Structure 1
Amino acid sequence: MASITDKIELFINELMNNSNSIQIKRNELANLFNCAPSQINYVLMTRFTIDRGYYIDSKKGGGGYVQITKISSDKKKYIKSLIYERIGEEITYNAAKEVIKSLEKINILTERESKIILYSIEDKVLCIPISELKDKLRANILQNIVIGLLHIDESA
């Protein structure tokens, strides 16, 4: 049985099938699913993120809304936002895995390429005893791969 978060995500995805951008009212959606508005926030913050190809904008107050927009297919802009906003100076393996899976989802990486990258940034491969240094090294490797993807895309 699907969880409430899965149901909310599915509902929002179905709304977005016909549009690149939608506006929803958090309270109305919470009433529809008989849950707290914080549950809607959780879904938005974990399932509709930049690294998954979405941008969230919200207006608070009585007439407030949440606008969910699919990031344009401009891969260069998307990859640059991944480098600076999502990867940053350091990244955990799980966060890096999310970035890689999102690149696969939008057909920048193949499944095979994703697996190779994931194997190359695992903790056991990064033989450094200090975990913060592993996360920094992982970020450097991942940024270099993403920059390489951008360069390959430009020369194709």
Structure 2
Amino acid sequence: MSNQNTSDLIEAYLKKILEESSKIEIRRAEMAHLFNCVPSQINYVINTRFTIQRGYSVESKRGGGGYIRIAKIQISDSNHLLKQMAQFVGQDLSEKDALILIQKLYEEEVITKREGNLMLSVLGKQVFGKVVPHENVLRAQLMQLFLERLSYEEE
């Protein structure tokens, strides 16, 4: 048997459905019943694994007739993706979010695996160590520069 936890199973289930349809609508309580978990675990999976950085749009409505809609975001071109990412980065970027963004750039074939690994090596904690007091700010600035330079390549 696989070593997957419930969150991994929920994610895999939803992604399988999204392969067949670009948008799904689920009910939190029904999903919780299906996976024999608490409804908050469904929220956790959706909030952490179906984010805009990972290529998903989530809309929810609470209450008796409530639902959660998850849609794959269709990126029309890499320039549009780069602009969206630059907006997300803002002034502060964690190492985890940098990894997610670099993974998305690779998945969308904006960068090669080698370029992604180079970006990761520059944006990782090991580079900043304990000497940089505002590492997330510096990481955001570096990522913004990467994204800007990548957009020049497209024009």
TM-score when normalising by structure 1: 0.89
The number of residues matched between the two structures is 152
Gaps of 5+ in 1: none
Tell me the distance in 2 between the aligned counterparts of 1:144 and 1:16.
33
- Pick one of 15, 26, 29 that aligns with 1:27: 29
- Pick one of 12, 15, 36 that aligns with 1:10: 12
Tell me the distance in 1 between the aligned counterparts of 2:65 and 2:80.
32
Where in structure 1 do 4 or more consecutive aligned residues deviate above 6 Å?
none
Q: Deviations over 1:41-63 (max 9, x none)?
A: 11001111111111111111111
Task: Using the TM superposition, give the Cα deviation of residue 79 of structure 1 relative to its aligned residue in structure 2, in angstroms.
Answer: 2.2
Tell which deviates more after alignment, 98-107 or 112-121: 98-107
Alignment of 1:95-134 (within 5 A): 95-126=97-128, 129-132=131-134, 134=135
Q: Deviations over 1:52-111 (max 9, x none)?
A: 1111111111111111111112233332221112x1101122221121112112222211
Tell me the distance in 1 between the aligned counterparts of 2:140 and 2:35.
38
> Which residue identity does 1:143 align to in structure 2?
Q
Task: Using the TM superposition, give the Cα deviation of residue 149 of structure 1 relative to its aligned residue in structure 2, in angstroms.
Answer: 1.6
SS in 2 for 1:131: coil
Tell me the distance in 1 between the aligned counterparts of 2:106 and 2:64.
39
1:77 correspondence with 2:80: yes
> Which residue identity does 1:151 align to in structure 2?
Y
Q: Deviations over 1:16-40 (max 9, x none)?
A: 0111111111111111001111000
SS in 2 for 1:62: coil
Task: Using the TM superposition, give the Cα deviation of residue 129 of structure 1 relative to its aligned residue in structure 2, in angstroms.
Answer: 2.1
TM-score when normalising by structure 2: 0.90
Tell me the distance in 1 between the aligned counterparts of 2:125 and 2:95.
7
Alignment of 1:37-76 (within 5 A): 37-74=39-76, 75-76=78-79
